[in-house]
């Protein structure tokens, strides 16, 4: 079904919704690389105007990737809730935008609507929204998940403590971990990206993280971000796995490139749930995504990279995750060229995920060959915190020495908390106060005393194991 609009002396025609969304996407290098982007600014504006007039109901009759060959499409179509969709069924994309920005779109209404939205609908409306629109709407979406701490409550901001080490050295990981805890980071998860993906190394890392967590009594969850099949094997061998991690994308072919499908993700979720390690909840999955992943795998089916990214959220939603993290600037300038594109993409990903009912976090980051710097990251972080992001990634000194990219530091999260008044997850907040790291207002104390004996015991153990 074609869409058209007359603008600036030209009758602009778009072959179908897939073409319309691609041309309406704000400029980004990945779509230009794929040959999908609008040819000019006027072409893009025409597409956005035509998209605003497109009925939302059209998205239920047109598939972006064929149903017959793609299990992600089948998941989207077969799980759509028409009763939840009913309040907006007669709207166009433009009318949906106006409704989202209105007082009618309350937090309760948005929660009830989420099962009625498809990823393509959400991607479409984001393409005709400004940054402040996406901040405003996302701030009204509350998505709460829990395992050993509760993430996503209003007025809260959690952090992933990412103590990576280039060789997975236990003392190096432990040193970065303790550094982060002393600066109040880690209430979302303490998660390590391993240098290798063997079951033995995976089990050693999760064992180390769990040992530190238990010795210090930290009410958070830990994760080794190895492949999902490695996690399943480690669980079978008795490893203390809190969260199972996996990168996912928006098509069956792209997920095959990651070595996964919906069946193996379900097997991993069942394995993690069988351990019963949660104390305040049962969300055991941790997914990461990023615009451009399907294009880089040549598995985008002619769909723009932002829409493919939102389709990945349908995969995540199926498994009720504790955390979903878009590593927005990690994939490089071939897909997001500069700080402007990273900033918009980060807010798009957060907005779209929250609207679909996901516990969205963002790795506010860039690679060293990208036209971006820490000023861009400061701006994106503060926009995201005001948009109600569930968590952000933090690494020592904002420099991940294992993955070689720039993210946020523990101090960046402290700054965002001080500026916005966001508090930590309640269980973690209580622990910090109990061990003497924070005062009554949640501020760090200069000389914590109560945690000293536990840190001394941990240091002795690591030295003995050397």
Residue-wise pLDDT tens digits, 411-434: 999 999 999 999 999 999 999 999
- Binding residue numbers for adenosylcob(III)alamin: 194, 246, 296, 402
pLDDT at residue 449, rounded to an integer: 61
- Binding residue numbers: 160-162, 193-194, 246, 288, 296, 363, 402
pLDDT at residue 464, rounded to an integer: 62
pLDDT at residue 261, rounded to an integer: 98
- Binding residue numbers for substrate: 160-162, 193, 288, 363
When pLDDT is averaged across residues 67-73 and rounded to a whole number, the result is: 98
CATH topology agreement for domains 3-140 and 145-435: no
In this prediction, residue 362 has a pLDDT band, given cuts at 50, 70 and 90, of: very high
- Domain ranges within the chain, ordered by starting residue: 3-140, 145-435
pLDDT at residue 457, rounded to an integer: 66
Return the CATH fold of 145-435.
TIM Barrel (3.20.20)
Contact 153, 188 (CB under 8 A): no
When pLDDT is averaged across residues 136-147 and rounded to a whole number, the result is: 98
380-383: long-range contacts, CB 8 A cutoff, minimum separation 24: 380/342, 380/343, 380/346, 380/347, 381/408, 381/412, 381/416, 382/416, 382/419, 382/420, 383/131, 383/135, 383/343, 383/346, 383/347
With 60 as the cut, is the pLDDT of residue 453 above it?
A: yes
With 80 as the cut, is the pLDDT of residue 65 above it?
A: yes
| Superfamily designation of domain 3-140 | lyase (1.10.220.70)
Residue-wise pLDDT tens digits, 223-246: 999 999 999 999 999 999 999 999
* pTM to 2 decimal places: 0.95
Residue-wise pLDDT tens digits, 212-223: 999 999 999 999
In this prediction, residue 197 has a pLDDT band, given cuts at 50, 70 and 90, of: confident
When pLDDT is averaged across residues 72-77 and rounded to a whole number, the result is: 98
With 80 as the cut, is the pLDDT of residue 59 above it?
A: yes
């Amino acid at each position: 079904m074609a869409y058209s609009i007359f603008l600036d002396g030209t009758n602009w025609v778009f072959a179908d919704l897939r073409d319309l969304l691609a041309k309406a996407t704000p400029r980004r290098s990945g779509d230009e690389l794929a040959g999908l982007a609008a040819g000019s600014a006027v072409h893009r504006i025409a597409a956005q105007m035509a998209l605003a007039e497109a009925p939302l109901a059209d998205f239920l009759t047109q598939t972006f990737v064929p149903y017959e060959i793609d299990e992600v499409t089948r998941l989207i179509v077969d799980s759509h809730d028409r009763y939840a969709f009913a309040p907006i069924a007669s709207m166009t994309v433009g009318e949906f935008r106006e409704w989202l920005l209105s007082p009618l779109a309350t937090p309760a209404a948005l929660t009830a609507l989420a099962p009625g939205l498809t990823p393509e609908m959400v991607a479409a409306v984001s393409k005709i929204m400004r940054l402040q629109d996406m901040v405003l709407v996302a701030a009204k979406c509350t998505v709460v998940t829990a395992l050993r701490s509760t993430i996503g409550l209003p007025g809260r901001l959690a952090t992933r403590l990412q103590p990576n080490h280039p060789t997975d050295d236990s003392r190096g990981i432990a040193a970065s971990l303790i550094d982060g805890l002393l600066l109040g980071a880690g209430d979302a998860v303490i998660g390590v990206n391993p240098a290798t993906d063997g079951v033995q190394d995976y089990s050693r890392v999760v064992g180390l993280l769990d040992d530190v967590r238990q010795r210090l009594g930290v009410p958070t969850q830990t994760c080794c971000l190895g492949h999902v099949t490695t996690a399943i094997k480690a669980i079978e061998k008795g490893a203390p796995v809190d969260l199972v991690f996996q990168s996912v994308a928006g098509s069956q072919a792209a997920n095959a490139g990651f070595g996964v499908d919906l069946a193996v993700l379900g097997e991993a979720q069942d394995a993690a749930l069988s351990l019963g390690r949660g104390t305040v909840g049962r969300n055991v999955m941790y997914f990461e995504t990023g615009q451009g992943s399907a294009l880089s795998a040549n598995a985008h089916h002619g769909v723009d990279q932002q829409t493919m990214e939102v389709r990945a959220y349908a995969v995540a939603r199926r498994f009720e995750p504790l955390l979903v993290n878009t590593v927005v600037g990690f994939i490089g300038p071939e897909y997001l060229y500069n700080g402007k594109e990273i900033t918009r993409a980060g807010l798009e990903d957060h907005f779209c995920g929250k609207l679909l009912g996901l516990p969205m976090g963002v790795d506010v980051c860039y690679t060293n060959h990208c036209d971006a710097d820490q000023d861009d990251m400061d701006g994106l972080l503060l926009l995201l915190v005001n948009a109600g992001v569930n968590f952000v990634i933090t690494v020592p000194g904002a420099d991940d020495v294992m993955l070689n990219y720039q993210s946020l530091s523990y101090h960046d999260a402290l700054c965002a908390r001080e500026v916005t008044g966001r508090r930590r997850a309640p269980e973690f907040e209580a622990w910090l106060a109990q061990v003497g790291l924070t005062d009554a207002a949640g501020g760090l104390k200069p000389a914590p005393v109560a945690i000293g004996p536990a840190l001394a015991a941990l240091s002795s153990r690591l030295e003995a194991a050397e």
